[in-house]
Every structure is written in C-alpha cells, then in structure tokens.
Structure 1
Amino acid sequence: MKLLEVQSSVRLERSVSRSLSHEFVQAWQMNHSHAQHKMRDVGTNPPAHPTELWTQANYTPPEARTLEMVGVLSHSEQLIAELLWADCLLLGVPMYNLSVPSNFKAYLDNVVRVDRTFAFDCETFTLQGLATGKKALVITPSAGDYAPGTPMAKFDFCEPYLRAILEFIGIADVTVITVPNQFMPDEIRHQQIETARTKLMALAATW
C-alpha cells in the first residue's frame, strides 16, 4: 500500500486538518506495517500557477516540446508522478471562503492534465479518468456547518468540487470527513474535532 498525503492548510501547529491527518496516518500505519507514505505540503510550499508557456507546453505533444517547455512542466510532472504512484490519497483541505484553498487549487491545476490524468476523445466527446484504481480520504474543517439540510449547505463549494474533480481523473472512491463549526465556542469546536477523530480512527483499521 502506498499513501500520498497532501496538506494544503497555511496553518501549522494550529491546523485541524494537519493534526487529524497526522493521527490518522499513525493509526493507519499500525494496520499497514509495510505501507509506504509520502507527504506533499502545498500549504507551506505551493506549486506555481500555470502560465502561458506552461499551457502551451501542456498542449504540445511531448516529442515536440522545447527544452524550455520541458522545464516549465517539470514540477507538474513530479506532482503527477507522486499521484500516480499512490494507491491511497489523504487530502487535508480546509474550507477557505466556501471553497478549497488557492494553493490546493494550484496543485490541482498542476496534476489535472490532459493525457496524463485524464483523456478526452474529440470524436465521441467523452472523458476518461486515467488515475484509476485509487481511493481518497479528505479531511475538511470549516468555520460553520455546511451539511446537507442546513441553511449554509448551498454555500459549500468545497466538498462537491473535490468529489467532482477527483472523479474527473478517475477516483470515485472518496470518503470525506468534515470538521464543522470551527469558529464556534471551544466546547462545540472540540466536540466536532473529537467526532471527526473517532470516525478517522475507525476508518484507519479498515481503509
């Protein structure tokens, strides 16, 4: 088993997604003693946003790319290689302003690439995910409660987007652990963290 952990919170010691992810990885490794684990921190070291040259290189056949094109895509290729290496993805993605952090969006823009993680057939207008055979676990803290049926549910552009983009590249087995109400009083906030922790510890034994 090979686990790729991607953390996107800009916080370090006070990050709920980071601390819960750390606990999950420790518990998961106890049940998978020979598992391999890699961590990519796009919260403290975000990838560069695509540029005009990057886009031109992306849509140029590999054999026709200039050295400059190869260079501008090199970090993206490294990120994709990590993604394709993994059997399991652990994504720490706090909700920022109703959606994913911008640094995580930059990561996605680097790994969601035609003929690398998805394919498009111009004749049939069909899409095919290429990052298949994987599963993903997403830990997403948020300031309020965006669960279905709540008044804030319509403002959640984080979980639906994550599920959609992961399925787009071929990962449909997605588990999302939300940690809501993190701007509420401590008693409520800690209760939500403990609820998420309980779910994650149970999942570590079977995931």
Structure 2
Amino acid sequence: MKLLEIQSSVRLDRSISRALSHEFIQAWQNSHPNALHKQQDVGMHPPAHPTELWTTANYLPPDSRTPEMETALAASEQLIEELLWADRLLLGVPMYNFSVPSTFKAYLDNIVRVNRTFAFDSANFTFKGLAIGKKALVITPSAGDFAPDTPMGSLNFCETYLRSILGFIGIEDITIVAVPNQFMPDEIRQQSIEQARAKLMDLATTW
C-alpha cells in the first residue's frame, strides 16, 4: 500500500488539517505496517503556476518539445509520477473563501493534464480519467458549517470542486471528513474536531 499525503494549509502549528492528518497517518500505519508514505506540502512549498511555455509544451507530443519545454514541465511531471505512484491519497484541504487554497489549485493545475491524468476524445468530445484505482480521503476544516442542508451549504465550492476534479482524473472513491465551525466558540469548535477525529480513527483501520 502506498499513501501520498498532500497538505495545502498555509498554517503549521495551528493547522487543524495537518494535525488531524498526522493522527490519521499514525493510526493508519499501525494497521498497515508495511505501507509506504510520501508527503507533498504545497501549503509550504507551492508549485509554480503554469506559464505560456508550460501550456504550449503541455499540448505537444513529448518528442516535439524543446529542451526548454521539457524543463518547464519537469516539476509537473514529478508531481504526476508521485500521484500515479500512490494507491491512497490523503488531502489536507482547508476551505479558504468557500473553495480550496490557491496553493492547492496550483497543484491541481500541474497534475490535471491531457494524456497524463486524463484522456480526451476529440471526435466524440469525451473525457476519461487515467489516475484510476485509487482512493482519496479529504480532511477539510471550515470556519462555519457548510453542510448541504445548512444555510451556507450553497457556498461550499470546496467539496463540490474536489469531488468534480478528482473524479475527472479517475479518482471516484472519495471520502470527505469535514471539520466545521472552526471560527465558533471553543466548545463548539472542539466538538467538531473530536467528531472528525473519531471518524478518522474508524477509517484508519478500514480505508
């Protein structure tokens, strides 16, 4: 079993997604002692945004790219190989302004690439995900409660986007553990953390 952990919070010590991810990984490794684990921290080390050269290179066959184009795509290629290596993805993705952190969006822009993580049939205008056979677990703290049946539910572009973009590249087995109400009084905040922790500890033995 191979686990890729991707963290996108810009916080370190006060990050709920990082803390819960750490606890989950420890419990998961106890249940999977031979598992391999890699971490990609795009919160602390965001990948570069695509450029014009990057985009041009992306849509050319590999044998048509110049050395400069290969260099422009090198970091993206490394991130994709890392993604394809993994059987399990653990994503720490706090909600920022109703959606994902910009650091994580930059990561996605580097890994969602034609003929690498998805295929496109121009004759029928259909798409097919290539990053198949994986499971994703997402830990997503938020300031308030953005569950679908709440007044703020329609503003939850974080969860809907994650399900859509991961599904697009072939990752359809997605579990999201929300950690709401992190801007609420401490008692409510801690209750949400404990509920998320309990779910994660259950998942550590079955996921």
TM-score of the alignment, normalized to the shorter chain, above 0.5? yes
**Displacement of 1:198:** 0.2
User: CA separation in 2, counterparts of 1:167 and 1:193?
Assistant: 27
Is 1:191 matched with 2:191? yes
- Which of structure 1's runs of 4+ aligned residues deviate more than 2 A? none
* Deviation per residue, 1:118-172 (Å, 9 max, x gap): 0000011111000000000000000000001100001000000000000000000
Structure 1 position 83 matched with structure 2 position 83: yes
1:13-162 alignment runs, 5 A limit:
13-162=13-162
> What's the secondary structure of 2:119's corresponding residue?
strand
1:170 is aligned to 2:170? yes
Unaligned runs of 5+ in 1: none
Letter in 2 for 1:65: R
- Coordinate RMSD, CA, aligned: 0.3
Matched residues in 1 for 2:90 and 2:114: separation?
23
**Which residue identity is paired with 1:137?**
L
Q: Determine what percentage of the aligned residue pairs are the same residue.
A: 73
* Structure 2: gaps (5+ residues): none
Structure 1 CA distance, aligned partners of 2:12 and 2:137? Answer: 20
Distance 1:129 1:60 in 2: 19
Tell me how many residue pairs correspond in the alignment.
Answer: 207
What whole-Å deviation, never above 9, does each CA across 1:49-104 have from its counterpart, x for those lacking one? 00001000101110000000000000000000000000000000000000000000
Residue 45 of structure 1 and its aligned partner are, at CA, apart by 0.2
CA distance, structure 2, for counterparts of residue 154 and residue 2 of structure 1:
35
Q: Name the CA distance, whole Å, in 1 between partners of 2:10 and 2:148.
A: 27
Give TM-score, length-normalised by structure 2.
1.00
CA distance in 2, matches of 1:29, 1:130: 27
Partner Cα separation in structure 1 for residue 24 and residue 112 of structure 2: 26
